[in-house]
Amino acid sequence: MNTPGKVRMDKWLWAVRLFKTRSAAAAACNGGHVKIDGVAVKPARAVKVGDAISAQTGDICRSGKVLGLLEQRVGAKLVPQYFEDQTPAAELERHTSSPVAPGFHRPKGSGRPTKKERRTLERFWG
């Protein structure tokens, strides 16, 4: 594969699958959620091999190192060739442990809620 000389930040973030769309990557850059060596960057900034990147993607802050440049999105199995993920395990664990709503549980596939269950839900969620 022919490696490009320089790549835009938003395009690279999309290509290594940190963001679902390139526009989402650009919005994160414009919002100050993407940093290189602690400095916020714009979407058009060129990425270099060896850059330390941190990006706020949803609830977690992903951090890592640029290992290679690419302009086209690659499969998930090929991402480790271009991006070394250095996100702390505690950060990833915080994302996977989702809080369960206390006091109310509906089994999946149990159908439409009854009027009583709906009112309980409305009281709980306000």
pTM, two decimals, is 0.72
CATH tag for 7-90 (out of 1.10.260.40, 3.40.50.720, 3.20.20.10, 3.10.290.10): 3.10.290.10
Reply yes or no on whether the pLDDT at 103 is more than 70. Answer: no
Helix or strand (DSSP H, E) at 28: helix 22-30
pLDDT value, residue 81? 92
Predicted confidence at residue 122, as pLDDT, reads 84
Of 4-13, 82-91, 94-103, the poorest mean pLDDT is in 94-103
Q: Residue 24 class from Cβ within 10 Å (0-12 exposed, 13-18 middle, 19+ buried)?
A: middle
Does residue 99 have a pLDDT over 60?
no
Mean pLDDT value of segment 35-48: 92
CA-based radius of gyration for the chain: 20
Average predicted confidence (pLDDT) for the chain: 85
